[in-house]
Structure 1
Amino acid sequence: MSKVVLITGASSGIGKSIGLFLKEKGFIIYGTSRNPDKVTDSGGLKLLTLDVTNEDSIVKVVATVITEQGKLDVLVNNAGVGITGPIEETPTEEMQNAFNTNFYGPINVMKAVLPQMRKQGSGLIINITSIAGYMGLPFRGVYSATKGALELVTEAMRMETKAFGIQITNLAPGDFATNIASGRYHTPVYDDSPYKETYGMSLKEMDAHVDEGGDPDEVAKQIFKIINTKKPKIHYKVGAFMQKFSIVLKRVLPDKMYEKLLVNHYKL
């Protein structure tokens, strides 16, 4: 029987690429979007209305999938938001929104699917995090924190649910060509800000990295490999060599030496 896959944030970008790729491979795909009616091109994916910050909508979608298919084999927790800015100047409510979407949201989706997976005695959850979650990046500190927190929660939940036959893993992408920049909250570059020059320059560089990023299908192919792996690893990374290598450098270099590399890279 074909595996049933639920993908949050599947209306565009990485989520859409994952959905279309897996659909071609014969999987039964349920994608989600906060506003499916506004999606002009879903590529033929079935999109259900889900806002990861709304627990009622999460429960409703999971119930729909189980009612229609009788099972749920794979959850890809992909929905998320970007956020940039000097932490001093970033509104607290925007930080809270980022955590609600990137951290608490995925946890609540996992909570909703776990009872069914436990009943089945099997299930796979793949949390889409970010290479940025492995380090505190200047002007992306809040985003790094949300993704880093999800990485750690995944480590804990893997152990908590292992006895039920459920597998949980992380996939951390680097920069890919998606529309994430258009939906990202970014603190304005204020004329009187002490960060005006450095933040303004970094913001342009971040946008360029996304525009010049890799093909999201690379992430989809990695998801396919994970689904077909009997015993998935705890952490996976996908992206340009230097982005993945930056994690290795952080692990082996003294803290201040690594910090100096970042400071020089961001011209701070």
Structure 2
Amino acid sequence: MELSWEIVLCVGIAVLVHVLVYLFVMAKKPRSIVGRHVVVTGGSKGIGLCLAVECAMKGANVTVIARDEKMLSGAVALMEVIRQRPDQKFQYRSLDIGGDYDQVAKVLGEIEDNFGPIYTLINCAGMAICGVFEEVSVQDVHKLMNVNFFGTYNCTRYVLPKMKKAGDGIIVITASQAAMFGIYGYGPYSATKYALRAMAETIAMESREHGVSVTLAMPCDTNTPGFEEEEKSKPRETKIISGGGGLIEPEVMAKAILKDALKGKFTSTVGAESWLITTLGGALLPWDGFFTNLLHAIVLGPLRLVSYVLHMYFNSVIRKCAREDKAKAASEVESK
């Protein structure tokens, strides 16, 4: 019992320190995007659309990129309704950003010809296909990699040298909580998100001295059309494991991501569960500030026990589902 109270005390102190650090140390002045050119990929729906709207509300000139022209047109119409300045501009482009790099660079160049240099790139295009590792088709794995990784790579590859030369710029890379640890049923999907995490860490290290900030957004389950599609391919075990945290609304997620990006924070999460997973899985992430790292030094020991309990729970879910499947199969054999 004494050990339990020590853990509770350590966690309580860590939470208090975290709050105080956030309020008094990490309160950075956000950058302004008024009159700046912001490009949002995946901007026709879900978190991407909400991010485009948030940028429009802050006075930015916004370009949204996706494939569905009808939905893109609707996104631009929505931004027109919330226009903040008479000279504010909005446009869309239908583009397969995970395809040929030269084509992506050509279109992005045309976009800059219309609206000026890209000051902020928000990579939000993505998709999820779930399933036990060997049951996800090779074609689907390539599709996941093209959309999730190469779509972000191509756009970032184009803007990064320009931002470095200008000495200013913001890049947002949207990964997932699945970039923190592998989850049953998310194998190939998690691999693409881990790749984005590694890319974001590398770019942040290479670009900080050039005035370019990088934010790695790691949304939890969010109430979007993409999540509805993801649910269709999730194994039963995955639904149980990932279903405990509930759903965040995309507007809430978008506000948090943009706020963190404008403040130059490397990580962006929403909710206690996401903070816990990111803290446990991201010990080598470039956390901002001495006090944040001091907090992690205090809290990671007790939290390591939490991660052990989580893995025990995950494994118990998998074993239970396996037993139920075996019992069902045996029952079907007997009935025949």
- Amino acid in the other structure paired with 1:47: Y
Output the CA distance in 2 between the equivalents of 1:66 and 1:90.
38
1:253 aligned residue: 304
Q: Which TM-score applies when normalising by structure 1?
A: 0.83
> Could you tell me whether the CA contact under 8 Å between 2:50 and 2:251 is conserved in 1?
yes
Deviations 1:231-262 (A, max 9, x none): x2322212x42243234455642676542232
| 3-state DSSP of counterpart to 1:46 | strand
1:228 aligned residue: 262
Does structure 1 residue 33 correspond to structure 2 residue 85?
Answer: no
1:241 aligned residue: 272
Q: Which has the higher contact order (CA 8 A, sep 6+)?
A: 1
2:214 aligned residue: 168
Output the CA distance in 2 between the equivalents of 1:25 and 1:142.
36
1:48 aligned residue: 93
| 3-state DSSP of counterpart to 1:253 | helix
Decide whether aligned partners of structure 1 residues 243 and 261 sit closer, same or farther in structure 2, where only a CA change above 3 A counts.
farther
1:22 aligned residue: 55
Which structure dedicates a bigger proportion of its chain to helix?
2
Alpha-carbon shift at residue 81 of structure 1 (Å): 0.9
- Amino acid in the other structure paired with 1:134: M
> Could you tell me whether the CA contact under 8 Å between 1:125 and 1:167 is conserved in 2?
yes
Output the CA distance in 2 between the equivalents of 1:156 and 1:249.
20
Alpha-carbon shift at residue 136 of structure 1 (Å): 0.4
Does structure 1 residue 94 correspond to structure 2 residue 140?
Answer: yes
Decide whether aligned partners of structure 1 residues 220 and 182 sit closer, same or farther in structure 2, where only a CA change above 3 A counts.
closer
Deviations 1:17-59 (A, max 9, x none): 1101211121111001112145573224632112121224421
Decide whether aligned partners of structure 1 residues 136 and 227 sit closer, same or farther in structure 2, where only a CA change above 3 A counts.
closer
| 3-state DSSP of counterpart to 1:41 | helix
1:216 aligned residue: 250
> Could you tell me whether the CA contact under 8 Å between 1:49 and 1:61 is conserved in 2?
no
Structure ID, larger Rg: 2
| 3-state DSSP of counterpart to 1:260 | helix
Decide whether aligned partners of structure 1 residues 183 and 39 sit closer, same or farther in structure 2, where only a CA change above 3 A counts.
farther
Output the CA distance in 2 between the equivalents of 1:249 and 1:141.
19
- Structure 1 counterpart of 2:107, from 61, 85, 89: 61
| 3-state DSSP of counterpart to 1:10 | coil
Q: Which TM-score applies when normalising by structure 2?
A: 0.67
Output the CA distance in 2 between the equivalents of 1:134 and 1:265.
20
Equivalences, count: 253
Deviations 1:181-211 (A, max 9, x none): 3544965xxxxxxxxxxx642465589789x
- Amino acid in the other structure paired with 1:261: Y
Decide whether aligned partners of structure 1 residues 41 and 167 sit closer, same or farther in structure 2, where only a CA change above 3 A counts.
same
Structure 2: segments with no counterpart, 5+ residues: 1-33, 80-89, 282-299, 322-336
| 3-state DSSP of counterpart to 2:155 | helix
Judge which range, 47-56 or 94-103, deviates more.
47-56
Judge which range, 21-30 or 59-68, deviates more.
59-68
Decide whether aligned partners of structure 1 residues 103 and 186 sit closer, same or farther in structure 2, where only a CA change above 3 A counts.
farther
Decide whether aligned partners of structure 1 residues 207 and 245 sit closer, same or farther in structure 2, where only a CA change above 3 A counts.
closer
> Could you tell me whether the CA contact under 8 Å between 1:133 and 1:143 is conserved in 2?
no
> Could you tell me whether the CA contact under 8 Å between 2:61 and 2:115 is conserved in 1?
no
Alpha-carbon shift at residue 265 of structure 1 (Å): 5.2
Structure 1: segments with no counterpart, 5+ residues: 188-198
> Could you tell me whether the CA contact under 8 Å between 1:181 and 1:207 is conserved in 2?
no
